[in-house]
Amino acid sequence: MVRMDASILRVHPQGDLTIYQVEELKKELLTAFSGAEEISVDLSDTEKIDTAGFQLLVSLQKSCAETGKKFDGVGIYDAVKNFMNLYGYDLNDKKGNR
């Protein structure tokens, strides 16, 4: 789910990104975040997201903006994109804003 590739932290959740998966993913991110210069989130295998998953992604994106790390979100399914659109949120907004 999370791996370091040189200075890039690659996050690739498999299946759903809901309250049931967020705690484990958060722990992995907290451990690896400080050693990364760039964060790449690949949601191509994430079909369902809930508010907990959304909050984790927003928090990760904002942490990148605050620490000067590059953030990139790729492979976003329409269902996940539609969920984010409900909040007027763009995962690739470079400032981490709505």
CATH of residue 43's domain is 3.30.750.24
**Is residue 96 domain-resident?**
no
Is residue 98 pLDDT above 60, yes or no? no
**Is residue 82 domain-resident?**
yes
Residue 79 confidence (pLDDT):
80
The SS3 assignment for 58 reads helix
Domain range spanning residue 68?
2-86
pLDDT in tens, 5-16: 999 999 999 989
**Is residue 30 domain-resident?**
yes
pLDDT in tens, 15-41: 899 999 999 999 999 999 999 999 999
**Is residue 95 domain-resident?**
no
pTM for the full model?
0.86
**Is residue 70 domain-resident?**
yes
**Is residue 92 domain-resident?**
no
